[in-house]
Structure 1
Amino acid sequence: MLVASDKFKGSLTAAQVADAVGAGVRRARPDARVRAVPVADGGDGTLAAVLDAGFTAVPVTASGPTGEPVDTRYARRGDVAVVELAAVSGLVRLPGGRLRPLCATSRGTGEVMAAAIAAGCREIVLGVGGSAGTDGGAGLVAALGARLLDASGDDIGDGGVALPDVASIDLTGLRAATRGVAVTIASDVDNPLTGPRGAAAVYGPQKGAGPAEVARLDAALAHWADVVARTTGRDLRDTPGAGAAGGVGFAGLALLGAALRPGIELVLDLAGFAGALRGADLVVTGEGKLDEQTLHGKAPAGVARAAGRAGVPVVAVCGSTTLPPARLHDTGIRAAYALTDLEPDIDVCLRDGARLLETLGERIAAEHLEGGETE
């Protein structure tokens, strides 16, 4: 049996989920062999997933979303580096949790990428979920050597609020720093940069932007896209995924020549999921909440697709679910086992998630594992 779950946000890491489910399965079936491949969808938890898969953590100090230094890390294996935006420029890095929708920057993520490149990495995988800002990726490319200049020839400030000041872009330093480096962005977002489905309109409110600030940020991003198009000769603002991470997707596509891939697919590749799947007779996947968002690029749906192609059945564990069985089946998940099936009090579920998951593991073993040794 293989456990390939995402984290239960605010409660358990992906590895802890796997440990608890495995303990319950072995309690019911001492003969069971349980393997774990913790996964993520490109957002927070991506670093943990690849570190569990054998990458090495490399510590870095970089600028947080409002400029303060933060201790973070990237993961490395050979000449491949995995950078998690949430770990340096994410909402979780805002001082005191205070939202700063206008001035939060992606600069620190660019600094981490620059450190990996300076250390000899030739391939950068960038997971972009959980960003704190809406700066169109301007801070990121500035940290990698681009100069974003105002009408007086001075560098502009940080954050989406500064984008209207951009009059020209000097890409000389950026091109020199990233020559020979391939960048892949892991994201499940297909939003464009601007407009009613753009980065500001859809995700700005989650980052603290009210209606007036959303309009201001959307106009700023449109101006940024105009200047980038004038500089590069290509207008990519409407490309699906350009709106990822407050427009970091746009900067990656337009200025770094990045490729976009669904986050879960990329993480499964990096984690060696296909190899771990061989010989398994059941896959247990999961995340904190199974809902409609799960069906659109989240980890459980990606795991179910990959396992389904190999003909391996899949069940899910979760904190709670709003998906009826028919919707789960459409995704390739035979059944879902929720903590709230055992304990309706959410606070108890958050506090005692591991204990409850062990009980669910026992149920899964009893209902889905046949006699004899399993793997």
Structure 2
Amino acid sequence: MTIASPAQHAPVVVIAPDSFKGSLSAEEVAAAIGAGIQAALPAAQIRLCPIADGGEGTLDALMHAGGQRLTIDCRNAAGQAVRAPVGILKDGSAVVESAAIVGLTDDAGTAVPVEQRSTLGVGDAIRSLLDQGARRFLVALGGSSTNDGGAGLLAGLGMVFLDAAGEVVPPLPAQLHRVVRVDTSGLDARVAEAAFVAMSDVDNPLCGAEGATAVFGPQKGVTPPQVEQLDRSLAHFAQVLERALGRSAAERPGAGAAGGLGYALLMLGAQFRSGAETVADHIGLDDALAGADWLITGEGRSDAQTLHGKAPFIASQRARRAGVPTTLLSGGIDRASLGKLQQSFSGCFSITFGPLPLQDAIAQAPGLLRDSGEQLARLWLAAAKG
């Protein structure tokens, strides 16, 4: 794309980064980059479009486009009473971010072993929003600490799991092997009136070598000896649940998202969608790219996995369709992945200017982003003059 002379044209810059998880929200990242751009190009028109891919920060990204933010009572992964944020968008869609309820970064929720954690709180959140009239739900699945096949979610919505003696089985990974019958009579009737979109960037099935436990369990605390046992428990639970509901979903792409929370939503009739694509639609990224000269996107760290449906990749694909060049500006860039990354991005840059301890980089992230944005803009200006 030919860059017009600054004298003839003030550039339109779209800034659409993901969050720097554990450090800055996507909105804060976008604002810092934007400040740097305008330090070098005061006349630039900046369009901030913070984005996410279904993990931590998805609620914030969606709420940037407007809506009502609420705080509701629910349970964390350990079953403790907590208050968690949810949202209702301007179109009436309710947003539930799993990471904000049963997230991997919640110290209290992860104080118990993974086999004792549940997604009950996600069911609490949906029920609370049903009480407020919501009937369309966007459920962000990334960043969960759970591996319960979504049993907690279903129990939170009224399903009851029973053992051979007719005793209630808690919806915990360590107990799912005991389930022999599912009582669906108590399922909240309003669920049948609701439409669910499960948002994630993974397409794993529920069980097996590519399933929830084998692939994502270790990062949640599943030990090697537990993998086969918990995987078998999920497979058993799915067999009983599918017999009770008369449908199947264990092998469907995305069933393994969020430790099987994706599976439970699919069993409730959810549509499974790319988190980044869904967010991009709701925040109007395509509209923001119309007539733009430049897109800047990024994330905490970029590597080859970025190209598998992560937010910066989705943003770059949409920019390419609009004829807009894209720069990747991330906290860190995997040098070994540059060859692959540069096929989707016009340039790939890290915000660090030299060796820096991680904690210092996190603390200095706003300034580093601002300085990097300014230097990129000066490069743009030099190219335009040339």
Matched, 1:14 2:42: no
CA distance in 2, matches of 1:103, 1:97: 9
Name the residue aligned to 1:176: 189
Aligned-residue Cα RMSD (Å) equals 1.7
Name the residue aligned to 1:88: 101
Contact 1:84–1:127 (8 Å) recurs in 2: yes
Contact 2:140–2:275 (8 Å) recurs in 1: yes
1:46 paired residue among 50, 58, 68: 58
Matches within 5 A, 1:99-110: 100-110=113-123
Name the residue aligned to 2:45: 33
1:227 paired residue among 219, 222, 240: 240
Report the Cα offset of residue 177 of structure 1.
2.8
Letter in 1 for 2:366: A
CA distance in 1, matches of 2:332, 2:96: 30
Query: What whole-Å deviation, never above 9, does each CA across 1:58-80 have from its counterpart, x for those lacking one?
Result: 11010110110111021102421
CA distance in 1, matches of 2:92, 2:331: 37
Report the Cα offset of residue 287 of structure 1.
0.2
Q: Please report the TM-score for the alignment, with normalisation by the length of structure 1.
A: 0.94
CA distance in 1, matches of 2:59, 2:109: 23
Matched, 1:336 2:348: yes
Letter in 1 for 2:230: L
Report the Cα offset of residue 35 of structure 1.
1.5
Contact 1:35–1:276 (8 Å) recurs in 2: yes
Report the Cα offset of residue 97 of structure 1.
4.8
1:247 paired residue among 260, 266, 269: 260
Contact 2:352–2:368 (8 Å) recurs in 1: no
Kindly, what percent of the aligned residue pairs are identical? 40
Report the Cα offset of residue 109 of structure 1.
0.5
Gaps of 5+ in 2: 1-12
Matched, 1:201 2:185: no
Report the Cα offset of residue 96 of structure 1.
7.4
2:365 paired residue among 353, 361, 364: 353
Contact 1:99–1:207 (8 Å) recurs in 2: no
Q: Please report the TM-score for the alignment, with normalisation by the length of structure 2.
A: 0.92
Matched, 1:3 2:18: no
Report the Cα offset of residue 240 of structure 1.
1.2
Name the residue aligned to 1:304: 316
Q: Secondary structure in 1 aligned to 2:72?
A: strand
CA distance in 2, matches of 1:94, 1:174: 31
Count of aligned residue pairs for this structure pair = 370
Q: State which drifts further: 84-93 or 283-292.
A: 84-93
CA distance in 2, matches of 1:57, 1:93: 20
Matches within 5 A, 1:48-67: 48-67=60-79
Query: What whole-Å deviation, never above 9, does each CA across 1:329-351 have from its counterpart, x for those lacking one?
Result: 32x21111202344544333211
CA distance in 1, matches of 2:101, 2:306: 25
1:218 paired residue among 216, 231, 248: 231
Q: Secondary structure in 2 aligned to 1:129?
A: coil
Report the Cα offset of residue 371 of structure 1.
5.3
Report the Cα offset of residue 360 of structure 1.
0.9
Name the residue aligned to 1:259: 271
Matches within 5 A, 1:45-194: 45-77=57-89, 78-95=91-108, 97-98=110-111, 100-174=113-187, 176-194=189-207
Q: Secondary structure in 2 aligned to 1:186?
A: strand
Query: What whole-Å deviation, never above 9, does each CA across 1:106-141 have from its counterpart, x for those lacking one?
Result: 010011011111111110000011111111000001
Gaps of 5+ in 1: none
